[in-house]
Structure 1
Amino acid sequence: MKVLDKKDLVDGKALEHTRTERHILEAVQHPFIVSLRYAFQTEEKFYMVMEFLSGGELFYHLKVASRFKEDRSRFYASEITLAIGHLHGLGIVYRDLKAENVLLDAEGHVKLTDFGLAKKAILDNKSASTFCGTPEYIAPEILCNSGHGRAADWWSLGTLLYEMLCGLPPFYHKNVNIMYDRILNAKLTFPAFLTPVARDLLSKLLVRNPEKRLGAGQRDYEEIIEHQFFASVNWTSMLQKKIRPPFVPQVKGGDDVGNFDVVFTCEQITTTV
């Protein structure tokens, strides 16, 4: 349950983001996107109740494993690509793809969550202008404030895929300003263990010019799923969740929270109605 204090939403932008998130969650039905079960409000707060995904955050599992093998990374990237492609088909840019916003269900399939930064009615690569996102995953055009759109999500996909395969995002630095400089200027390098086909896909997703990035054209996600990296994927079966996930989270029951970091599960629940 996401609880938002109305006092914190008096700023118009925050209120707009909250409305957008609620409308998107309500409108979008997709196997790899979290579903909204209830939305209601009291005098002081807004509440959004989502389905509970007991598999935990992809971020948590990546931290445990350090990095994923190529097959596991390909599986997650495939489901994420289908989810983002669906959003783009509805004119929605996600703008906050990161390992923390990808949850796993009990079987090990992904679900995108947190649509607080999503924007509607964007059908190109430059109509959105708000500076937003998570530093490690921000596309160069957002940093440059030159207008952004769908292609920014594909940059973030490249960043996340690189992180899954290598253990860290490609331009990571603990100093955010240095990291921003690297995102804009540093040469993209790869560890020796990465396969040539994985390097090729990452090189095409992490292109600084959004118009030349893979997925930037009218065909959007179809450009990406045709890449050789995904040659073994049956996309119809993938969308129907007929492909067995390479990793199944250990889930003891419907209310098991063992796949979430204790930093969250040990927090005191302070909200009451």
Structure 2
Amino acid sequence: MEGCEKIEISEDNVNMGAENIRPECFELLRVLGKGGYGKVFQVRKVVGAAAGKIFAMKVLKKAMIVRNAKDTAHTKAERNILEEVKHPFIVDLIYAFQTGGKLYLILEYLSGGELFMQLEREGIFMEDTACFYLAEISMALGHLHQKGIIYRDLKPENIMLNSHGHVKLTDFGLCKESIHDGTVTHTFCGTIEYMAPEILMRSGHNRAVDWWSLGALMYDMLTGAPPFTGENRKKTIDKILKCKLSLPPYLTQEARDLLKRTVFGLMFAWMATLSNKLLNYAETGAHPFFRHINWEDLLARKVEPPFKPILQSADDVSQFDSKFTSQTPVDSPDDSTLSESANQVFLGFTYVAPSVLDNIKEKFSYEPKIRSPRRIMDSPRTLPSPGWARSPLLPGLGPSVLQSPQEQAMDMSSVEQMDITSSSEASAPLPIRQPAGINQMKQQAYPVVAKRPEHLRMNL
């Protein structure tokens, strides 16, 4: 054995296995949000791989989840989908683990906050801004659909921005797996204002409901509210199923056509069996509304986002609602005990990303960023903030696009009304590569719109 290297055997170099992740591995920094089943915290990892990195920690109470079989199924589906799906515009799952009474999901921290916050600040988006966000979202939805997953909860609150301003879909608790061509499901779920008629009618739905929600989201971005809202849930549902779709006159032809094909077109999915034919448009080419998008560059995140968060540090929480971030972060004691049979449903929940360090690819930039010049200063939802300036005059639009609210008030008599009794072919804007080098999308003046419905607004 002469000349051989001698190595002392210890627990440090034998059978090390995967990192043992537990709540004590993380330091609680801030509360980012609360829900019926638990909280979301901003945390810092204090030991092991990626020590010092900032993450978001979603904590769910088992006792609340196991009360309902559907909630249990949705929680397990969320965990499985987050492990399976890796995409530039979908949040990354880093770890999953559990204690006797709680489930923990450790996700990448998205310091840009919710798109909802940005929409509240801007009031409405210009079409090129909306186009960017909708294009990134459509790529995420298309990826989910290719894997047989429907999302079913698309809304501004579930779309977050990373530190560079790119979209990330979050909250997969209402997703449904194994929905391929010809397969439908019947669960009533989602947020009413963004729910497709076939969900409301309980007539069976598939991936088409996500394109409806994308259209409702697009309408919200461009007008200041979803297309159908009422004083209560029943009135909102009645409007979705029976009312006309109003298209404001300031929308471009491309925007109007895409809205007709999503919000309006898919309204008929529950009246006639939805077939692949109705989705042909998605598979043969992207909609002209996206004609300026280079899909290859977009997927590589080479396209400059319209808004970049101004952040002071990697743990900056300025883009989150202060009613949460001002609270003391406390993960309540895990004193609940479930029976052994109840705990069996969470077997296999633990997960560690194949390479944690590979998941932390994007270095945080401390360079001050200039915010979007498309802010409408007279919007009732616009807050004065350092670094923001009035939008420069846009060519061909007269002396200013920043008229007074009275001058900008919409003439509803000229709004296009579309009756749902008309027929329309449905389509969905799945992304394909488009030729580069096309001129920038033309700008148009937007009116100041009425406030979003109270229950859809954030108290900024």
- After TM superposition, the score normalised by the length of structure 1 is 0.94
CA distance in 2, matches of 1:130, 1:216: 24
Aligned CA distance change for structure 1 residues 226 and 4 (closer, same or farther; 3 Å): same
SS of the residue corresponding to residue 4 of structure 1 reads: strand
Show the counterpart of 2:61: 5
Counterpart contact for 1:215–1:221, Cα < 8 Å: no
Find out whether 1:121 has 2:178 as its counterpart. yes
Task: Name the % identity.
Answer: 50
CA distance in 1, matches of 2:151, 2:239: 23
Show the counterpart of 1:260: 320
Deviation (angstroms), 1:271: 1.1
Q: 1:237 aligns with which of 280, 289, 297?
A: 297
Aligned residues: 272
* Larger-Rg structure: 2
Show the counterpart of 1:35: 92
SS of the residue corresponding to residue 189 of structure 1 reads: strand
Find out whether 1:154 has 2:201 as its counterpart. no
Counterpart contact for 1:151–1:215, Cα < 8 Å: no
Show the counterpart of 2:53: none
Show the counterpart of 1:46: 103
Counterpart contact for 2:182–2:275, Cα < 8 Å: no
- Structure 1's unaligned 5+ residue stretches are none
Counterpart contact for 1:97–1:153, Cα < 8 Å: yes
SS of the residue corresponding to residue 269 of structure 1 reads: coil
CA distance in 2, matches of 1:162, 1:43: 44
Find out whether 1:16 has 2:55 as its counterpart. no
Q: 1:209 aligns with which of 268, 290, 314?
A: 268
Show the counterpart of 2:399: none
Counterpart contact for 1:62–1:164, Cα < 8 Å: yes
Aligned CA distance change for structure 1 residues 109 and 17 (closer, same or farther; 3 Å): same
Show the counterpart of 2:167: 110
Deviation (angstroms), 1:221: 4.5
Show the counterpart of 2:131: 74
Aligned CA distance change for structure 1 residues 23 and 216 (closer, same or farther; 3 Å): farther
Q: Which moved more, 1:28-37 or 1:209-218?
A: 209-218
Q: Which moved more, 1:48-57 or 1:256-265?
A: 256-265
Show the counterpart of 2:241: 184
Deviation (angstroms), 1:88: 0.2
- After TM superposition, the score normalised by the length of structure 2 is 0.57
Aligned CA distance change for structure 1 residues 216 and 12 (closer, same or farther; 3 Å): farther
SS of the residue corresponding to residue 242 of structure 1 reads: coil
Counterpart contact for 1:125–1:147, Cα < 8 Å: no
Greater fraction of residues in helix: 1
Aligned CA distance change for structure 1 residues 213 and 191 (closer, same or farther; 3 Å): farther
Find out whether 1:271 has 2:331 as its counterpart. yes
Counterpart contact for 1:21–1:116, Cα < 8 Å: yes
Q: Which moved more, 1:161-170 or 1:261-270?
A: 261-270
Show the counterpart of 1:227: 287
